[in-house]
Structures are given as C-alpha cells and as structure tokens.
C-alpha cells in the first residue's frame, strides 16, 4: 500500500495553494500548527487524504496514544499526517492544508509523496509555516520573516528575507523539493519569546494567519484568535511582573525592539491602503448574507 492514502478526491479546486505545518522542531509555542488548524477550522476544511506513518516515524520518539472508546475498549491513535481541502468560493483560490508531526526518517520519500500529491491536484503555490524561539518581547508586534521563490511576493508582503544557514526541519526540505519540481514556494516564520517557550503562543499564530492571508489571498474571521492573543499577552505580562529580574530583562528586549523598528526601512505595520484592501477582500468573501 502506498504511503499516501486517498480517502476521497477533491476535484474542482481553484488555483489551490498547499499550506503545510508540522509540530515539533519547526513549531515553537505551537504557533505554526495552531495557525494552520485555525485556518482549517474557520474555513470548514474536510479531510481527504492522509500519509501512513509506518515508513516515516520512530514510534519511540513520536509515540502513539491510547484512547478509551465508550469508556471500555481501547484503541491506538497513530501519529499521521492529515490533508484537508478548504473551498473558499469568494476568494481567488482554494486551500489544501497539510498537518502532522515532523517525520523522523525517510524525508526524501516523504517529500516526494507531497510533491506527487501537489502535482496531481494542480497546486499553484506551496507555503510552509514555522515558528522559532527568539530574543523578542511578548509585548511588541510579532516579528515575521520569510522568503519566496518570487521576490516580488517578499516585497509585497513586507517580509524580511531570511539569510539563515544551518540545520533545517522538514519545512525547509519540503520547500526545496517543491522548488526543484518547479512549484512556486514561500515560507513564513514567526518569532516566539524564548522566555515563555513552553506555553502555546496564539499571538504568534495570529501573526502567521495574517501573513498567510496576504500571501494566498484568503481571509478568515480571526476574532477568536485575536481574543486569545490579547489574553495571552495579559497573562504573560502578569507572570513577568512577579519577577523583577525577568521584568528587567523583558524591558531590555522591548527597548531593543523599539530601536530596531525605528531603524528599519519598512515598518511592520501595514499602511492604511493595505488595511482597507484586506478588509474589503474579507467582506467580499463573507458574502451579502454576512453584511
């Protein structure tokens, strides 16, 4: 049996973009995986395929979970990659969402499964989401970096170009494989404060959602995620205030961030024209029945 298991065929997808996020090394503060899950939930995405885990996971490193069904029998939930389709009629394209834990082995075979699926479905753009630990304060706008095979996209979205060299995760490997296959690609990364690395970070997830919207031209109602992000900032600020040393450290990070923002050629805050354009696109997607 091939690793890629089709449960149905999502025919008729319009100019689809494939968006990938993985838990693990690429997912500081669970921001990337949370962003993808939020987009899928908001758009009513439905699962149509999965990748069998047998060839790609070390089950001692990524352990399956035991679940009780009906309070009596037990079943095993194996780690697997799930693939969803989200149809967005009023947007210029539909989305394919791929999520799961980062695989442990046979990355080249794994990547080929994704490339084959993308080509079979006529994918026109591949986007990976990631989040990383950084010296950034939780009180400031979330720094985002990214790159695209089309430099015009980088400029239009106001992304910082990444000059990173070093170890990579599965997201970097997928981007390389898709570029080699001739698929347009982009990668978006959000920075997560390292002093709250263990806590889920909805603020960074929200930043990724907003950048993804601008990249693929699909808008979602992020009100719930905005509330979670505001609550997160309040809770972290309260915890920081309990420790003078940590508070002094965060204040130094804030000062450095403000100075860096002031020196930047392109501020992270979008212009009024950009905000108006994004809001108008969101209203068009919602349709007349949403007012």
pLDDT digits (tens, 9 = 90+) for 110-154: 999 999 999 999 999 999 999 999 999 999 999 988 888 777 767
Q: How far apart are CA 20 and CA 32, in angstroms?
A: 9
Mean pLDDT computed over 242-266: 83
Query: What domain range is 141 assigned to?
Result: 4-290
- CA 267 to chain CA centroid, nearest Å: 22
What is the domain-level CATH number for residue 128?
Answer: 3.40.50.10900
Q: How far apart are CA 241 and CA 243, in angstroms?
A: 6
For residue 17, what pLDDT is reported?
97
For residue 264, what pLDDT is reported?
64
CA nearest to 201, candidates 27, 23, 12: 27
- Name the pLDDT band for 271 (thresholds 50, 70, 90): very low
Structural domains in the chain (count)? 1
For residue 272, what pLDDT is reported?
45
Percent of the chain whose pLDDT exceeds 70:
87
Q: How far apart are CA 193 and CA 170, in angstroms?
A: 22
For residue 217, what pLDDT is reported?
92
Over the stretch 195-239, which tens digit does the pLDDT of each residue have? Answer: 998 899 999 999 999 999 989 999 999 999 999 999 999 999 999
Q: How many Cα atoms within 13 Å fall on the side-chain side of residue 67?
A: 8
Percent of the chain whose pLDDT exceeds 90:
65
Spatial strand order of the sheet with 46-51 comes to: 4-6, 46-51, 81-86, 95-101, 17-23, 125-134, 185-193, 144-148
When the pLDDT of each residue in the chain is averaged and rounded to a whole number, the result is 87
Over the stretch 48-98, which tens digit does the pLDDT of each residue have? Answer: 999 999 999 999 989 999 988 776 778 898 898 999 999 999 899 999 999
Q: How far apart are CA 112 and CA 174, in angstroms?
A: 9
Q: Which residues, listed in sequence order, are joined to residue 144 by a DSSP beta bridge?
A: 190
- Name the pLDDT band for 275 (thresholds 50, 70, 90): very low
Q: Which residues contact 39 (CB under 8 A, 6 or more apart)?
A: 19, 45, 86, 95, 97, 209, 212, 218, 220
Q: How far apart are CA 145 and CA 167, in angstroms?
A: 17
For residue 285, what pLDDT is reported?
52
């Amino acid at each position: 049996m091939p690793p890629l298991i089709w449960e149905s065929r999502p025919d008729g997808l319009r100019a689809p973009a494939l968006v990938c996020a993985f838990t693990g090394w690429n997912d500081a503060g669970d921001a990337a995986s949370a962003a993808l899950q939020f987009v899928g939930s908001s758009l009513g995405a439905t699962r149509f395929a999965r990748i069998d885990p047998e060839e790609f996971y070390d089950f001692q490193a990524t352990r399956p979970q035991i679940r009780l069904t009906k309070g009596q029998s037990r079943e095993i939930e194996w780690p697997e990659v799930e693939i969803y389709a989200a149809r967005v009629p009023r947007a210029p394209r539909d989305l394919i969402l791929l999520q799961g834990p980062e695989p442990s082995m046979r990355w080249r075979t794994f990547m080929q499964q994704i490339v084959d699926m993308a080509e079979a479905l006529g994918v026109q753009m591949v986007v990976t989401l990631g989040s990383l630990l950084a010296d950034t304060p939780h009180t400031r706008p979330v720094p985002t970096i990214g790159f695209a095979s089309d430099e015009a996209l980088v400029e239009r979205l106001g992304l910082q170009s990444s000059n990173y060299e070093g170890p990579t995760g599965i997201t970097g490997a997928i981007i390389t494989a898709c570029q080699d296959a001739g698929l347009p690609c982009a990668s978006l990364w959000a920075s997560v404060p390292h002093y709250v690395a263990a806590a889920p970070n909805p603020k960074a997830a929200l930043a990724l959602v907003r950048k993804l919207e601008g990249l693929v031209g699909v808008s979602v109602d992020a009100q719930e995620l905005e509330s979670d992000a505001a609550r997160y900032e309040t809770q972290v600020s309260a915890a920081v205030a309990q420790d003078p040393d940590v508070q002094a450290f965060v204040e130094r990070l804030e000062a450095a961030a403000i100075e860096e923002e002031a020196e930047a050629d392109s501020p992270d805050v979008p212009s009024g024209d950009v905000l108006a354009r994004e809001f108008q696109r969101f209203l068009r997607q919602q349709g007349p029945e949403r007012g």
